[in-house]
Structure 1
């Protein structure tokens, strides 16, 4: 009898494991900050001994792409390096925008993977920054002539073109949007988490589109502006990062009222929305779970112990009320530099006392 019960228990355990392993992945797009690759080891160049297309294929393989993404990466010699550039662009911007926050966009593989398994607003901004970085990098690569399948944007679509001459080399957002949508694809899974992830991915692309500006240059005799040469230009990615950071701060919670990150029930926030509301109507970032506090070491962050802070600005928030240590140090830097005839710069060495504030344990 005991052996029979053990057999039944073993079968149930096995069935549960199989069911869990067969669950669809929660996200709707995998690349960049939402991908599986370790971001710290991606090269921005390839070994000199590996010429194209061998180097191109190796770089595509290192990115750990899905089958369709790998095919798109390999078909154009300019794509692989642009994908790496997109990862670097979005990662650096994320860390810059969150450098003064408890969650400082730590992209260490374990913490990042844990966050991506949940529906936090940090997850939302990772999806948005990832798609924005990819859209921005592809559009810029087209106009820079680094892609074989695209070139400058040549479609002005201006209302009054009588005195306009389209020229220059615009960033090709049209091709970029088509590429990114095809590259990231759509998942058949239409559960709440998948829909939220896809929505946040599209928010990143929409912010890029909203930041496109028309730049013009005048041509004419004696400085007159009888003809203008105009082209489209994307906003600097720092501006995109600022917009997405603002969207992160105002992110809207949808779905469940339960705080699954802490395991505590709680009332729905004032701006919470129902499952049925179409996500396409809002440009806000969406999340489905409350974030952990990131104060202590956890699956989601290394905590804030020993984190550097700025007294009078963010020490109280970052240190989570534990207080901070103050350490004085003396720095020596070049100063009072002057250019000497003909070809060198002469500087003095200045010392400066500086106080460093770090969070207590």
Structure 2
């Protein structure tokens, strides 16, 4: 008989933690990735049977929307009790906000998927094929670990904030209206007001801190680095919120301007954090052990928006499981590219092998009224290159 999901998914993580120093991601990543294997919108069939949820029959307001699901105390305890939380406060938060905790999990998974997109053509490609290898990478305080902290922390905040505005959570709803006018509203003339449904990044940010930061200790350099990068990830959303306004009035006039705040797409957030990865600051802890400072005195002190790292990255060209590297042998490369996806760089100056492969794709598509598109299946031969 198969046991609870965390026995098969997280038990290896618990055993590995005896040899790999744990940080705020070592338990969260396997928990999030389990969504890719057996995801359901509600945690039925995960650890214990749940009764049908009770819908909240009220419009969106300060405490949840019409789509929100209310969990009973017993349901919340069974769900939260199935997760081996590293910090007791996290379990308490889960029981207090059980539905929001499922969005924490989805948000972490969103961050991992974005990591894999950003690094898909690089020596390290954010692979999660073997969780233990990824967890060993986290023990090295490199640029890649820094990026993972930032993108997963941002993903958690993003996922929760988005769920608030769509009415999926009883714990929150749209962001409260601001008192200051939106940019350009006063100069445009007429009246203005905050309306629509602004993304509740404040609630998402707070919940991200509770689950991402709780297992970090600010008394050592590793904890300071992880906390700094977690916050840098969240700030990548907050600093790039955009205001959208819509005019209301007779005959297209702008008698009243209604404005709301929305988050950038998560792809944009990933691009922003990737830029911070490229400009990351190599740091060390100061003599007092209270803050991080650049190793090179000529470099400026990193801001709260910047990504920082403490260790050099391992050599990702060769297999080194102890350092979280799969190597690049067998990776597909682009023979004609001079970029990071090119065979010369991706294969680390090793040779590559080429072979003809046949793929099937849609072709000769036609539109039929109404409303159907029919396509034929065509076979295509192409020359594909793999690193030796």
* TM-score between both structures, scaled by the size of structure 1: 0.80
Q: How many residues align?
A: 320
Match of 1:35 in 2: 28
Aligned to 1:261: none
Separation in structure 1 between the aligned mates of residue 215 and residue 78 of structure 2, nearest angstrom: 26
8 Å CA contact 1:156–1:231 kept in 2: the answer is no
Deviation of 1:129 after TM superposition, in Å, equals 0.8
**TM-aligned CA deviation for residue 76 of structure 1:** 2.4
**1:50 equivalent in alignment to 2:65:** no
Q: 2:375 aligns with which of 347, 350, 355?
A: 347
Q: Which deviates further from its counterpart, 160-169 or 229-238?
A: 160-169
Give the deviation of 1:154 after TM superposition: 2.4
CA distance in 1, matches of 2:375, 2:18: 65
Cα distance change on mapping 1:346 and 1:282 into 2, 3 Å: closer
Counterpart in the other structure of 1:326: 354
Cα contact 1:97–1:241 (8 A) shared by 2: yes
Unaligned runs of 5+ in 1: 1-20, 257-270
1:318, distance to aligned residue in structure 2 (A): 1.1
Q: Which residue in 1 is equivalent to 2:199?
A: 171
Contact in 2 for aligned 1:324/1:358 (Cα 8 Å): yes
Q: How does 1:197-346 map to 2 (within 5 A)?
A: 197-255=226-284, 272-273=295-296, 281-299=303-321, 300-313=324-337, 314-342=342-370, 344-346=372-374
Q: Is the 8 A contact 2:28 2:108 kept in 1?
A: no
Counterpart in the other structure of 2:125: 104
* 1:9-28 pair list within 5 angstroms: 27=23
> 1:193: how far off?
1.8
Shift of 1:77: 3.9
Partner of 2:80: 60
Contact 2:228/2:304, CA 8 A, preserved across alignment: no
Give 1:234 deviation, angstroms: 0.3
**Deviation string, structure 1 residues 82-112 (Cα, Å, up to 9, x no partner):** 0221122101100000000000011231111
Q: Secondary structure of 1:255's partner?
A: strand
Helix, strand or coil at the partner of 1:126: helix
Tell me if the contact between 1:34 and 1:126 (Cα under 8 Å) persists in the aligned partners.
Answer: no
The one-character-per-residue Cα deviations of 1:233-256 (angstroms, maximum 9, x if unpaired) are 000000010111111122111129
Task: Give the TM-score taking structure 2 as reference length.
Answer: 0.75
Structure 1 331/37 Cα, relative in aligned 2: closer, same or farther at 3 Å?
A: closer
Deviates more, 1:118-127 or 1:158-167: 158-167
Instruction: State the 1:356 CA deviation.
Output: 1.2
Question: Is 2:106 the counterpart of 1:85?
Answer: yes
Q: Closer, same or farther in 2 for the Cα pair 1:192/1:93, shift >3 Å?
A: same
Change beyond 3 A, Cα 1:295–1:187: closer
**C-alpha distance 59-238 of structure 1, shift in aligned 2 (>3 A):** farther
Cα distance change, pair 188–255 in 1 and its aligned pair in 2 (3 A): closer
Q: 1:37·1:63 contact (CA, 8 Å) conserved in 2?
A: no
Greater Cα offset, 36-45 or 139-148: 36-45
Aligned partners of 2:363 and 2:29: how far apart in 1?
45
Q: CA deviation at 1:177?
A: 2.1
Which structure is larger by alpha-carbon Rg, 1 or 2?
A: 1
Q: Is the CA contact (8 Å cut-off) linking 1:93 and 1:238 kept in structure 2?
A: yes
Q: Give the distance between the partners of 1:23 and 1:305, measured in 2 at CA.
A: 27
